[in-house]
Amino acid sequence: MPLRYSELEIFLIDDDELIREIWKYEASQPSSHINLNTFSNKEDFLAHLTNSPPSIKSLFFIDLNLSSEEDKYCGMEIASILSKNGYQFLYYVTGYEKNDIPHLIKPYITNVLGKEFPWKIIRELT
């Protein structure tokens, strides 16, 4: 059964405030019917995941390089946790080209994207 926009929940985990604001604007368009949740860091997102688990149909767009002095690629950790919890629609959103980071792309990553709002993916899944 295909997803419907009214059922679609999207999570963006990105430390760039401008990117989060652009995504919020796109998701708020009257025709979108998208429930967008944004987080600026790993800790806040993981707290939300624990306290209010998302639908298994949710889409997760994860910045590979979240601001974190202790772990340059903590987006990988988030994706790994989500995969272990059964989530399947996991995307890296990054400034890297996919071909430049093959060692960081695990089998559970659906795709590597730029930071623009993912209308094409949303339309494919709805």
Q: What distance in Å separates the CA atoms of residue 49 and residue 82, rounded to the nearest whole number?
A: 9
Amino acid in position 126:
T
pLDDT tens across 47-82, in order?
A: 999 998 888 889 999 998 887 656 666 888 999 999
Closest among 80, 83, 88 to 121, alpha carbons compared: 88
Long-range own/partner contacts, residues 21-27 (CB < 8 A, 24 or more apart): 22/117, 23/117, 26/117, 26/119, 27/117
Domain ranges of the chain: 18-64+73-94+105-115
Determine the pLDDT at residue 70: 62
Please state the length of the chain: 126
Determine the pLDDT at residue 68: 60
Determine the pLDDT at residue 1: 47
Q: pLDDT means per 10 residues in the chain (126 residues)?
A: 64 96 92 87 92 89 79 82 94 88 85 94 81
Closest among 51, 52, 55, 50 to 81, alpha carbons compared: 50
Determine the pLDDT at residue 102: 77
> Assign residue 65 a region: left if phi > 0, alpha if psi is -120 to 50, beta otherwise?
beta
Determine the pLDDT at residue 69: 52
For the question of whether the overall pTM of this predicted structure is more than 0.95, the answer is no
